[in-house]
Structures are given as C-alpha cells and as structure tokens.
Amino acid sequence: MLNELDKIKEDIQKDITSLSILQIKGKYLSKNGVLAVMFKNIKNIKADQKSEYGKTLNELKTYLEDRIDEEQGKIKIENSNRKIDPTAPFDVNTSKDKRPHILDLKGSSHPLMQELEKMLDIFQRMGFDILESRQIDDDFHMFESLNFPKGHPARDMYDTFWTDDGFVLPAHTSTMQNRALRRLGPPPIRVVLPGRCFRNEATDASHEHTFYQIEGIYVDEGISMGHMQATIKEYLEQYLEKDLEIKMQPAYFPFTEPDVEFVISCPFCNKVGCTTCGNSGWIELMGCGMIHPNVLTAGGIDPQKYTGFAWGVGLDRLTAIKRGISDIRKLRDGDINFLRQL
Ligand code: FA5
C-alpha cells in the first residue's frame, strides 16, 4: 500500500506539467478521485501500518495542494503579464487553465458523409467514376432531358423550390444523367453521382425537405436488367454487410423503361418483421430501371446500339437503417449531443 502511495506521487509529478488544474483536481481531489479512494482504503490497512499509511496519505494530499497553489500562482503572474489580442483566435487569449481540452474542439465528419464515403468506396472498387451533382439547376436537366415534356403530369411527383428567375433546387440527382452521358460518352459509361436534393415536403421520420441521393448510371452494349440487379445487390450486400434477398416491384419514372422499386429483405430481422421494416420483412430502398431511349438520345447516345440502367438511392434513409436512427430529421438538426453518439 505504501508503495502505491509512492507511485501516486510520481503520477502527480508527471500530471502537474501535462494536465490543467481542473483536470488535476478532478483526477485526484474529487469525490471519487484517486486520493478519496485511498482514504476510503484506510479501514482495510493492517492495524500496525494504519498510522504510517494515514500520515503518508495526508502528506501526499498536502504535497498535491501545494503544487496546485504553486501552479495557480504561476498562471496568475502569466495572466497579469499577458496582453489580450482581440483579433486572435479565442484559445490564444484564453488562459492555459481555462482552455477547453483539445478533444472538445476537434471537428469530425458528419455521419452522412462518413456513410457516403463508404458507399463511394464500394462503387470505386466496382469500377465506377464519381461526379458530384449540382445544388441549383435548370428545367432542362430537372425535367426536359429526362423525358418529362412541359405539362407532363409526372412533374408533380417532384415538387421542389424554384428561384424567381427560373432556376430549380433539384428534387433528385437524375438531373445529372444528361450531363454524365454527354461528358463521359461514348460508352462504356459507369458513374455514380452523389448530391443534395430538395423537395417541398411535409416532413416526417422518413421525409426531409433536404436530403442526399446517390444516382448511378451504367451504359454499354448489351446491358440488361440482370446487370442492374447484380450491381445494386452487390453494392447493398457490401454496404450492409449481409447476404440479402431482393425483389423488384413495378414503379413509374418517365426516364426509365421498364422502371422498378428495388426491395431488399430486412437486414435486421431476416424477414421476421421488426420496427425497421415496419413489420413487413422487406424494405423498399430505391427507384431504378433501364434508361429510356429518349434520355439516351438527349444525352447523345445511340439507343439502337447501347442500353443502360440507372438508379437513385436515398443516403439519409440508408444511413438511418445502417445506424439504427429512428428519424432522418435528426441527421440535419445539428444537435451536437446526438451527433456525438453516432
Ligand atoms: C427518384 O428520385 C428517382 N430519380 C430515382 C431513379 C433514378 C429512378 C434513376 C430511376 C432511375 P424517388 O422519388 O423514389 O425516385 O426517390 C429515390 C429515393 O430518394 C427514395 O427511395 C428515398 O430513399 C429518397 N428520398 C426521396 N424523397 C425523400 C425525402 N423527402 N427525404 C428523404 N429521402 C427521400
């Protein structure tokens, strides 16, 4: 026990130069600090050693308090000599003992960006290029180039925000299809296009007014729905780290034909039914389909020679599934306490 007190003294000597006074007080003098634990220990010390143990422990406490006084004195002198520079970052003007711990100041990447990076890494390994989508676009890329002529009723499915001078905040990353076909053609074209999307939504746990999608496009000779199914399944299995069963349900998008909703078996309950899949055992994850010949033509690709598929998956919903988040709006609240838990 007495050896242990020697060891504590050595630790104090090291800590006094590396930790702040607040941290030293917390570590050694707080209610459950190192010294409090040693004081509680007195009852377990053999009767003949008790008085020496108690004496050494009290000396240790006095030693620590003296060192703290000394350090505080030094800081006072330092502070009184210090000139404040109002233009300097706050940590330069803050006295050493009051500076937040470096870990409290360190930034970190947002969970959505962490998940996006994992997904892009999977696609890159599969041979896809990456292009980011635009956050403001025009009617041609939002609708015309995607086979929604003026007055097409399906335009209403993508209710979003417009500027007074006719620009649009894209409701989906499909706005990039025409650019990708033109910029990366002639085929083969393999590209994923992540980006921010906006919709005029009454928000709820799975609908936000601002969210991310990842568009994907693959165009070459002889590309079929089979290639689409295998590519998307492989990506989801790698990302969710599970073997999945898949289903394709009918859907409707003017820019694909045929168009489907890609559905996976729930990776959490293996189709038994749970809160993540709404007790159905299946999760609808994304829209996809074979790129419509009119879209290929608008992108300068000959639909007689080439075929291709495209998909658009929601990053927020997939992140929520992977990380067990019940409401996607939490991802955009900026609540630091919530984000720190992820
Ligand atoms: C589309 O946006 C199509 N552009 C997808 C597509 C691309 C189909 C290429 C065919 C070919 P949809 O509106 O279903 O489809 O949205 C796709 C995904 O975006 C949804 O499955 C969902 O994960 C996500 N999403 C859509 N609206 C929201 C929203 N308000 N909040 C969060 N995620 C959303």
Q: What is the CATH number of the domain that holds 265?
A: 3.30.930.10
CB 36, CB 64: distance < 8 Å: no
Residue 104 maps to a domain: no
pLDDT confidence of residue 105: 55
pLDDT confidence of residue 81: 75
Residue 285 maps to a domain: yes
Same domain (yes/no): 157, 274: yes
Distance between CA atoms of residues 279 and 158, nearest Å:
28
CB 59, CB 38: distance < 8 Å: no
Same domain (yes/no): 256, 141: yes
From ligand 1's centre to the CA of 286, what distance in Å? 6
From ligand 1's centre to the CA of 34, what distance in Å? 56
Residue nearest to atom 29 of ligand 1 (CA): 207
Residue 235 maps to a domain: yes
CB 198, CB 320: distance < 8 Å: no
Residue 103 maps to a domain: no
Same domain (yes/no): 37, 64: yes
Residue 180 maps to a domain: yes
Residue nearest to atom 5 of ligand 1 (CA): 312
Nearest residue to 286 (alpha-carbon basis) of 223, 208, 215, 217: 215
Report the number of secondary-structure helices (H) and strands (E) in the chain.
Answer: 13, 9
Q: Taking the CA atoms of the chain, what radius of gyration do you get in angstroms?
A: 31
**Residue 123: C-alpha distances to residues 116, 261, 263 (Å):** 11, 20, 19
pLDDT confidence of residue 124: 96
> Mind spelling out the 3-state secondary structure of 189-202?
EEEEEEEEEECCCC
Same domain (yes/no): 188, 269: yes
Residue 142 corresponds to which tokens in the numbers above? Answer: 């939002």
Residue to mutate, 232, 286, 292, 331, ligand 1, most ligand atoms under 8 Å from C-beta? 286
Same domain (yes/no): 175, 30: no
**Residue 184: C-alpha distances to residues 98, 128, 176, 187, 219 (Å):** 55, 12, 12, 7, 10
Same domain (yes/no): 218, 241: yes
Q: Is the CB of 61 under 6 A from ligand 1?
A: no
Same domain (yes/no): 47, 116: no
Domain, as residue range, for 272: 111-341
Distance between CA atoms of residues 257 and 290, nearest Å:
5
pLDDT confidence of residue 95: 66
Same domain (yes/no): 274, 187: yes
Residue 319 corresponds to which tokens in the numbers above? Answer: 């992140």
Same domain (yes/no): 158, 262: yes
Number of domains in the chain: 2
Walking along the chain (342 residues) 10 residues at a time, the average pLDDT comes out as 82 86 88 90 87 90 90 80 73 64 66 95 96 96 96 94 96 98 96 97 92 98 98 96 94 97 91 88 95 98 98 96 91 84 76
Residue 105 maps to a domain: no
Q: Is the CB of 115 under 6 A from ligand 1?
A: no
Residue 277 corresponds to which tokens in the numbers above? Answer: 């899949």
CB 282, CB 266: distance < 8 Å: yes
From ligand 1's centre to the CA of 173, what distance in Å? 9
Residue 45 maps to a domain: yes
Using the 3D structure, point to which of 70, 98, 126 is the last residue of a domain.
98
Same domain (yes/no): 70, 168: no
33: burial class by Cβ within 10 Å (0-12, 13-18, 19+)? middle
What ligand 1 atom has the least distance to the C-alpha of 284?
21
Q: Is the pTM of this model over 0.85?
A: no
pLDDT confidence of residue 91: 64
